[in-house]
Structure 1
Amino acid sequence: MTTTTHAFAAHVAHAPLAPFTFERRDPGADDVAIDILFCGVCHSDLHTVRGEWEGTLYPCVPGHEIVGRVSAVGTNVTKFAVGDLAGVGCMVDSCGHCPSCNDGEEQYCETTGFVGTYNGPDTVTGGHTMGGYSDHIVVKQDFVLKVTHAEADLAAVAPLLCAGITTYSPLHHWKVGPGQKVGIVGLGGLGHMGVKIAAAMGAEVYVFSTSPGKREDAKRLGATDLIVSKDADAMAEHLGSFDFILNTVAASHDLDQFLVLLKRDGTMTLVGVPETPHPSPSVGNLIFKRRALAGSLIGGIAETQDMLDFCVKHGLTSDIEMIQIQDIDAAYDRMVKSDVKYRFVIDMQSLKAA
């Protein structure tokens, strides 16, 4: 059995998103159905619907920063009940039995790869998955997150399901904490969460940005200061002093300018994927200080739950601007210009008017 779902979708790469209806499966024994209240807008949504990444499957219903209320559960579901607040992030399935899945690192699934919340293979009904720019979603309980923030904060919780876990996972994995000096490269949707989370972990946090006008915002979010990355003298003052740098920038740029700021045994982790490769860093900058250059991809379901619980404990949510679904294309255009502080979130009630 299926249920008609109302959504906004892209039908081709270079046309506005438009109202769309399709059929979702009714909840199976292991499924949770969620009425979507809010959905964050990720740069990945824009890249996918506009065909900037290869392999977009149309019609495409984006959205992988989803919060809502449970409307139905299957007979085998024990983790959720009707009426609970719940979230869905970037993935809705994986093989479940490879070494990475067994370790709770489903995002690195080695057999099939994780199944994306949208534009992935629908392993239950066939076709491809449709995301959170819709009125409801049905997901296996093992890929649903418990949301315990106050209901008044739900819109600002939505981006945690991508921007939050993408920054929390490397900060957690590389054991960021008190007594460490941590840099965050870029102050956008990802970077602003990186600052908040690293500061809550007890680190001394600095933001690297090309925009000196962001200094006060960086401090408001929890940074000690902002370092203007195109100011050679300012950068030189911090040579060899950072324990860890989280680089959130998705544009191709010089990595050496940040690698030389790391201490011996320091690590810089990349979470942004540029459209063209970064210039190759100098091997000497790595070898002579035993520095590491690494990457990180979102986080597993268990770690994502840990992130949500951490954010509740420390009172963390995203800084957002609420939009109506009808304004999604204008929001995309503003995202291209970095004209948002710091994440758009769609009020899915606006879908009814559409």
Structure 2
Amino acid sequence: MSSVIQKSTLRQRLWRHVDGFDGPLAFAVFMLACAGLLIMYSSGFDHGTRFIDHSRNMLLAAVIMFVVAQIPPQKLMAWAVPIYTMGVILLVAVAVFGITKKGARRWVNLGVVIQPSEILKIALPLMLAAWFQKREGHLRPLDFVIALLIMAVPVGLIMKQPDLGTALLVLAASLAVIFFAGLRWRWIVPPVLLALVGMAVLVVMEPTLCAPDVDWRVLHEYQRQRVCTLLDPARDPLGKGFHIIQGMIAIGSGGFWGKGFMQGTQTHLEFIPERTTDFIFAAYGEEFGFAGGLFLIFWYFFLVYRGLMIAVDAPTLFSRLLAGSMTMIFFTYAFVNMGMVSGILPVVGVPLPFISYGGTAMVTLGLALGILMSIARSKQLVQT
């Protein structure tokens, strides 16, 4: 008797690692990455090695996505408590002996300087999804209260640093988990109405509330200045309002079709601050116009749509909640960045996904994409 053992080819072995990846999601990211490389070359060609570094960061994010996609969601759930605990401990370490730069204490030196708040963008939604998974089928109001406490600790520590931009991102992803877990509308509507009333009062009372001698107490002075600058950028056009004014001028001057690739005058005459990072959308809008902006918005919406579809089709509650929160990370990044550059939201230092320069943000995006791909693959494995 003889038997024939068929060895799998290299192609078959490689295919096993990418089988089950969500193709439409990957294509949306590819289109955004191409747009990012294009505008990064234009806005950063005379900015040292910014374009090369951005390309390297994208490659790193792709590798991270590929590696994380190989990890089953069940294993991710097992790591939820350790990663969350480590993240909170590091945030406490930042508060006690962290490194201060430009008035903010956000980093800690552990041999390597790290920013622990970035860990919580993934760790907190992971922890909350695991929390609700363990209580599936018998959720009580107390479980939502405990979830809010789990969320409040790291968000409070991040805001204390202060880092309002990162706190908003962590808060949005965490609230998405709590909402998708079944939070009742009667608990959602009152705080939303209160926030709307607060914004209306702020707009009406702007001359009084933004007077130099007024202390808001709940916000740091620089945060108060950002809100007041949003309401009236012209109060300090060459200072705190300069970013918003120049961003709106650049976007408006692009018209419908834009001035053309590498033809942005506001960009290349260096009127746009942070033109390769937080305000890169202004440079993009100037060169590619309204049509280019619609292109980006379409692919961001498509990315969010595919992420939500992955969440809907996920086989477990943990996977559904985690996929929904990871999708909200992309939505919040894009919405807040475009909003602040366009002058409809305060400037909070949030990058535009796959467009802005930034290694830390790109790592976070790679992790979020890897988790979405892992959940998409888990659905196929269940079906087979």
TM superposition score category, shorter chain reference: under 0.3
TM normalised by structure 2 equals 0.26
Q: Which has the higher strand share?
A: 1
TM normalised by structure 1 equals 0.28
The higher-RCO structure (CA 8 Å, 6+ apart) is 2
